[in-house]
Structure 1
């Protein structure tokens, strides 16, 4: 009995770390995709998944039918893919009872799905796969996967591989095709449309058995190198022209890069502005990946050949959009529009961002033929600039490739748009774009606002927060780019989650400027944390989790932090029984000119202090700050707590003095009084070198000058010592108000050698003799009275 009790005590002590570990994460979703219209069974593989309860879908078209945790590293899920689900990758998270995971991608296709079967490394023995198949596979180091297809003479074969676009490791997939005799017929690596994934269209020259090969371009591979190989006769254009249209319009589009795909008329969405991908679709099927397309209110002008010279420029209007293709090397396309002096336009090329291989150079010429503006790379490798028309008349636009390249898929779109205010909201220090507030606790978010062509205060609204969760924040002031937001979950909030939208609106009468979340979640980085592959999200993943084992509270200071001063903020900790782990503290947001360190609450500790410092130019005002605490997989926040940054209550002008080793002196300090305060305090002279001392002096609100006696030891170091300052710790309602300032200096000289010292004075003369003149003492200092 007693032995069991001892064991129980040991187990309770161990709860300080392991039992509280949360923060679910997804490594992979296997298989990496499924066909639309199907019911798919997948395994979500990651960490801390034993209490998984739900999936969160950033995109419509997929629903969760059933979720069963298998163990801490796996959850088995049954998904229903809608028949009209969007083709391509979908963003998914898993939610547990205590957290929300990172974002991972799951691909939806239209073909029959199979899993590759190992071994498949011998092209002579691999089995044939039917056309109209998506193969889910993986590549090990130095691995090559082979798949055979049987083709008739003249039969079309289309192949596309999804690898890096699945959001895993840096998988630069290579796709090859070998003919019946074993000769390599096609070798594709990177495509502009498909990032570093490959695709091709081939027509069989003869009947027979053809072999497809998938590998990493440098024959790398390993864990996480998953791919989806689409094999069929589906259309695979690599661009479209025009690349945009007006909402609700009928757009006549011409698919580029696949000669078998005819032009089509498509109906554009009426409720969308900006990027709206479209699916190339024919009686041969639908492409495995959509093509980017822009919807805007600008009228469209499609190039009319020939337009290779300014005199042949295709006429359009501004504001307006101009669509074309640089079809041959060395080609240039020209357009023209009539402009009026004083008009201001933002001119932008959409090409590489839309999957075109074009590396654009954009030039606008004035009516006299001079270049008004030109640009190569402004947005990635796409061109952009703002122009102000200096005269009335015909203006000419020129588009060409930076290296003089061209080809069937070198499509582009130039938008000449009036300047409009733009607002985009995003996150700082929140790479995963998710917030989890445990029951009865809080979570912290840094929300950013990027304004373009306007300024002013912003109002915020949060829609779609889980039941019981609220957001506390101060509105954006004019010119303010970042604010802290603290999310609180009531103790009785049900555990749940959702995707919340955040909207900012210019808070001025009659203003119609608003914007929402526009944030790129980084899925793959290369050297020096450079984002390589991202997924844009427009909503924040939010959840109420089960109660955390600790909470923290920032004790509101009564006294201000004055410029050039500091303060130790007190953080109180409440722990659940059995939780003893240390807690790391930090302040994630501070006003301009204010800095802070970090602090640790020791094991089983209940409080800690965290120091903040205000510079001489710190922004004055009353702010609400929060402290964030992390331990054992949990991160929680204090409430937003008021802290004031004020002007110094007293400042000190410290003089510069000189002396010799072993010779005392004194230093006079001018005292400038500010905020009125009561009582008498001590002022210290600090920054003195070794061997030099001074005694504190009394100071009150009536003091205008302090005199510090300075004792200099005979072995004090010689030299000039700058940075002398005076510190006085005043008091307000029992709390310290540290005031300090300086600028003083002490110079210590070595005494003159004895041979250069003045001689002893002569004896006093007799009365009848004239008094000799008193010799002048040799010294660096003037004689004092």
Structure 2
């Protein structure tokens, strides 16, 4: 081994340690190429204006770059040991004094691009991290009042915390879990010093507790089913609040359906409050339309009643937000027509308004994928009321399942307005039925391989009767990455966004801007879009229910070490023109960078008006194939369309083959050190004469033997690592989605021949 190889080895060994950073479940997945995923950070947050050490774990996080955050006021540097060398998977995170408290996103940049995210919470209270076992009353960890402790749940156990309470001081105990991406279903208990339960909360809420006497008290935390482990983390908060203050709300991620709230331009300028009591007809609250009301589903079984005058032919749009505010509510509205006055008044139901239906069919979680695992619908309300005659009308709003809910935090916002046509959009990485029995729901970061096209489903909620087409776009992309939005057609709710990376695109990362554009009432409007992702990568929906959520930002990246197994593109970069009612044949080129199992791939078509094109087969062994589109059946209107073809193929994928070189270098170094240790025993020595010389010779022989033993063990370990690296990089069959680069098609009207 030469000097150059020896110099490279320490760096290679570091890369090898990074290659085995955490769980390797991604390698066992039978679908989708590996993607970087950040799974845990410990702690899960920090106090404004402080610096905190953070350790991470994840999947496919080789060759890590910086730990990055969605807000620029949070920065990180890799932690170093006493010798100045970086410590794998550990960072020093600085939270600036002007960082806004709340939920932010943490990610890492890797050789494959940006990872999926994990929540990083920023608060205003001092924080600690639980590091010693505290699963008994005797080992309860001390917890200061007005502080936060970051911990992870011990499986089949209860975590104990002890604090000093003062008589008459109002305390709130809360446990952030689901809202910060944890798998924990927390049960909170406040007990006395002997461990006797005083207050219990099993639904994920807070405990409002005022001690009757000074003394030591205990907080117990456990999972509802006593599950535990590194993915069952939590942030336990103990704080004082004034006697008359409402319970504080924990900062939380937003559900996917929250993308459609609030309406564009909503302010609090004309907001009025509901006035209790208003349950009965004689207590009805008078309002004037249009109106904007804030109210509460409180106490249990509360029904709020409002009365207003309206004229025949009026059309009003009613929208309610409560579920989309992250609350466990299901609003329901009945609008009634009031006939007569006083005691003789009668009411006739005019319309009942309930849920906002999902714009597309959501997966049934059945045997095979039959729709997205993301639900853009909501139990909130967005509906129309048409007035049939002049006179008084009543609106009664309630929580359908509020009979047992007695929580003053269950608020709602009720808006009644004239039509204000608009839309909101949300997108997520495409998943499809790759084969029977495939039920995975994976988090898919926007991490592009060179030569790849990644598809995203985009769903629209249309507001107040808007039916026009919606153009999709995304900008501020890394160099070498382009976007093509396949328009959501008029009166439809689903579109496709395509991101394509050039084969030679340089590694890069940007925070992109996703939007939809449409013409409404003669004016072009642009609306920002949201993106969603799975909180955890679920390989089988029968064993774990997927939990998607909205993301705080839209990072787009290109990796540095891999290219797509297959690229499909039109043979020419041009607009392909076809006459309405005719057939169009598009020659395609296939750039294959991998071997495939199977010789044929079936392709379908993306693009408004072209989804009905029948699936067609192409050979995976040919460089040139063809796609045919028959417009005699599709009948798209004349115009220009962006389309793409998509299907699935089984690639012979080799995961991170570079790790073999790392392990090989380690094995070579170990063998060289073993050889050097063996050679030391061959050096001639003068015969030992004195006792001191004999003792020195014996010590040297013992040292050489120990060195030889360690070098032999190092060789065995290095060869084991080499075999593991070779097994890891061995080609495996992985089914992946293949999407062609976008193709522009222009449909021209047929020329009618007029008979003379």
Q: TM-score range by the shorter chain?
A: 0.5 to 0.7
Question: Is 1:138 aligned to 2:152, yes or no?
Answer: yes
Q: Give CA-to-partner distance per residue, 1:13-56, whole Å, 9 cap, x none.
A: xxxx99x9863121212222222222222223112322222445
Q: Give CA-to-partner distance per residue, 1:272-313, whole Å, 9 cap, x none.
A: xxxxxxx95xxxxx9666999975367222223342322332
Partner in structure 1 of residue 63 of structure 2: 51
- What TM-score, normalized by structure 2, do the two folds share? 0.65
Partner in structure 2 of residue 186 of structure 1: 199
- Whether contact under 8 Å (1:495, 1:543) holds in the other structure is yes
Instruction: Tell me how far apart the structure 2 counterparts of residues 414 and 21 of structure 1 sit (CA, whole Å).
Output: 45
- Whether contact under 8 Å (2:166, 2:215) holds in the other structure is yes
Q: What secondary structure is seen at the aligned counterpart in 1 of 2:179?
A: helix
Partner in structure 2 of residue 161 of structure 1: 175
Instruction: Tell me how far apart the structure 1 counterparts of residues 528 and 35 of structure 2 sit (CA, whole Å).
Output: 27
Richer in strand (by share): 1
Partner in structure 2 of residue 607 of structure 1: 623
- Label 1:117 to 1:25 Cα distance change in 2 as closer, same or farther (>3 A): closer
Partner in structure 1 of residue 187 of structure 2: 174
Partner in structure 2 of residue 423 of structure 1: 423
Question: Is 1:639 aligned to 2:731, yes or no?
Answer: no
Partner in structure 2 of residue 105 of structure 1: 119
Q: Give CA-to-partner distance per residue, 1:64-118, whole Å, 9 cap, x none.
A: 4458999999633332223343333222332224322223212222222222133
Alpha-carbon RMSD across the aligned residues, in angstroms, is: 4.6
Q: What secondary structure is seen at the aligned counterpart in 2 of 1:311?
A: helix
Deviates more, 1:115-124 or 1:584-593: 584-593
1:254-265 paired onto structure 2 within 5 Å = 259-261=243-245
Question: Is 1:35 aligned to 2:70, yes or no?
Answer: no
- Whether contact under 8 Å (1:347, 1:387) holds in the other structure is yes
- Tell me which of 292, 307, 314 is aligned to 1:336: 307
1:379-778 paired onto structure 2 within 5 Å = 380-402=378-400, 404-405=403-404, 407=406, 409=408, 410-427=410-427, 429-430=429-430, 432=443, 434-439=445-450, 442-452=453-463, 453-473=465-485, 478-479=490-491, 482-489=494-501, 493-507=505-519, 510-523=522-535, 533-537=547-551, 539-546=553-560, 548-549=562-563, 552-556=567-571, 571-573=589-591, 575=593, 587=603, 589-590=605-606, 591-596=610-615, 601=620, 607=623, 617-619=633-635, 624-627=643-646, 631=651, 632=653, 638-641=740-743
- Label 1:221 to 1:428 Cα distance change in 2 as closer, same or farther (>3 A): closer
- Label 1:330 to 1:500 Cα distance change in 2 as closer, same or farther (>3 A): closer
Instruction: Tell me how far apart the structure 1 counterparts of residues 117 and 74 of structure 2 sit (CA, whole Å).
Output: 15
Number of corresponding residues: 577
Q: CA deviation at 1:482?
A: 4.9
- Label 1:562 to 1:531 Cα distance change in 2 as closer, same or farther (>3 A): farther
Structure 2 residue ranges without an equivalent (≥5)? 2-25, 340-346, 357-376, 431-441, 656-735, 750-756
Instruction: Tell me how far apart the structure 2 counterparts of residues 319 and 212 of structure 1 sit (CA, whole Å).
Output: 49
Q: CA deviation at 1:617?
A: 3.5
Instruction: Tell me how far apart the structure 2 counterparts of residues 55 and 92 of structure 1 sit (CA, whole Å).
Output: 7
Partner in structure 2 of residue 373 of structure 1: 351
- Label 1:421 to 1:510 Cα distance change in 2 as closer, same or farther (>3 A): same
- Whether contact under 8 Å (2:79, 2:86) holds in the other structure is no
- Tell me which of 55, 59, 62 is aligned to 2:74: 62
Instruction: Tell me how far apart the structure 2 counterparts of residues 326 and 544 of structure 1 sit (CA, whole Å).
Output: 48
- Label 1:71 to 1:532 Cα distance change in 2 as closer, same or farther (>3 A): farther
- Label 1:486 to 1:21 Cα distance change in 2 as closer, same or farther (>3 A): closer
- What TM-score, normalized by structure 1, do the two folds share? 0.63
Q: What secondary structure is seen at the aligned counterpart in 2 of 1:49?
A: coil
Instruction: Tell me how far apart the structure 1 counterparts of residues 426 and 253 of structure 2 sit (CA, whole Å).
Output: 26
- Whether contact under 8 Å (1:422, 1:514) holds in the other structure is no
Instruction: Tell me how far apart the structure 2 counterparts of residues 535 and 77 of structure 1 sit (CA, whole Å).
Output: 26
Instruction: Tell me how far apart the structure 1 counterparts of residues 449 and 546 of structure 2 sit (CA, whole Å).
Output: 33
- Label 1:65 to 1:421 Cα distance change in 2 as closer, same or farther (>3 A): farther
